[in-house]
Amino acid sequence: MAAASPDLLIVTDDVALGETLGGKLQQWGARVWRHDPREGQALLTRAVDVILVDVRHQAEAMLRGLASIRDAMPCAETVLINNSENINASMAGMRAGASDELTVPFDMEALRRKMAEAFRRSRARKARKHRHPLVTAFEDAMSAAAFAESGEFETAREMLSASDPEGNSGSAEGEKQEEGFLNSNASKR
């Protein structure tokens, strides 16, 4: 059985960036959807594995939209695209649920690596629901402890009180999907 492709959503008002990233990610085997927030609130109704959110120009609007995206797709990993000068948007994005960030300019290898890591985390989150509850509780506690040690007490509290509302399995299938994406030829630039 062929492994399914990772599903990615790119949220940006920069058409050229969306097309460039979408084309490269499709070359690597991902299924890609693009959303321009200027075209309204209608978003993809299908759950995706990874969401790229461009916060360079309209950070406040994009971050408001991130909350509704995270509500609709709780197992999706969110990666911000940002400028190095826009630290406040980075911090707000991480508090809103983003797990990583790409700072422009970035090379295609950095994009491939970040997407593979985010895809791996998304699949692990989906598979976690099917583990023994004690193991899941321990993993959540350890993750929360790491945040607490770094001074992010509110994030740690939220992690401990949150539960995974999506019960997607796919551990073995997710590993197959991840292998295809991770082992893609990243040197095609």
> In the structure, what pLDDT confidence band is assigned to residue 23 with cuts at 50, 70 and 90?
very high
Least confident interval from 101-110, 127-136, 180-189: 180-189
Mean pLDDT on 85-91: 86
Q: Are 171 and 120 in contact (CB under 8 A)?
A: no
Alpha-carbon distances, residue 97 vs 4, 127, 151, 188 (angstroms): 26, 19, 17, 31
Which sequence spans correspond to the domains of the chain?
7-129+164-182
Q: What gap in Å lies between CA 162 and CA 129, rounded to an integer?
A: 12
> In the structure, what pLDDT confidence band is assigned to residue 22 with cuts at 50, 70 and 90?
very high
DSSP symbol at 37 = G
Mean pLDDT on 98-127: 87
Q: What gap in Å lies between CA 186 and CA 2, rounded to an integer?
A: 21
Per-residue pLDDT, 42:
56
Q: Which fold has domain 7-129+164-182?
A: Rossmann fold (3.40.50)
Which residue carries 């059985």 as its tokens?
1
Per-residue pLDDT, 45:
64
